[in-house]
Amino acid sequence: MDIKGRLEAIDIIQLSYEIDTGLRWQGLLPEQFSDCKTAFVHLMTSPITSPFGLFTASVQALGEEIDWGDNEHGDSVARFCTALDTLEFAGLIRLDQNPDGNHIWYLPLVVKHLLPPTIAQLQNWLISWEEVPDSPLKSEWLDQLKSVAREWGPFSSRVMLEIAKMQAEKNT
């Protein structure tokens, strides 16, 4: 799915409201607030991230990719890191350092607002999930998917079945 498709699939107004609410009490200047929102959208739409809110990537690569350029507020990577610190403090992202130097990234709002529309897409999410190195964030992501899936009505039983199949295959 391309960037435009990923963004169209999200309830943009609700997601924007939740980001704003999470950042509102951080005492940010307007430029810092803008940087945080830009960084969050970048994490959702970058070609090196994933459409389901759990992925492995380096801060350096993501910061360079955003290319804010050098200015009085620092280079792109420094500005990106500052925005990440704020996003993490606000609970909008979670990071876990991977032994290879990359981070495991978890964006809780993505599972909440970007649900897989079909079982086939859910299966692709679970295949990609298996490729992420072991981390407590993997378990949190899966627990959140199960929780959100319970609200999907008839689709939820299929989701739970696919998750159970994936976990059974992993344990054999």
Of all residues in the chain, what percent carry a pLDDT higher than 90? Answer: 10
Secondary structure element (H or E) that encloses residue 101, with its range: none
Contacts 24+ apart (CB under 8 A), 59-68: 59/84, 59/103, 66/38, 66/39, 66/42, 68/35
Mean pLDDT of the chain: 78
Q: Above 80 in pLDDT, residue 45?
A: yes
| Size of the chain, expressed as the number of residues it contains | 172
Q: What is the pLDDT of residue 13?
A: 62
Domains of the chain: 3-171 (1.10.10.10)
Tens-place pLDDT, residues 64-117:
888 776 665 568 888 899 999 999 988 889 999 877 778 899 998 888 777 777
Where in the chain does DSSP place strands (E)? 54-57, 94-97, 103-106
CA-CA-CA-CA torsion sign (151, 122, 166, 135): negative
Q: What is the pLDDT of residue 94?
A: 93
Give the pTM: 0.77
pLDDT band at 172 (very low <50, low <70, confident <90, very high): low
Q: Above 50 in pLDDT, residue 3?
A: no
Cα–Cα dist 23/29, whole Å: 11
Residue with the bigger pLDDT between 17 and 45: it is 45
Secondary structure element (H or E) that encloses residue 72, with its range: none
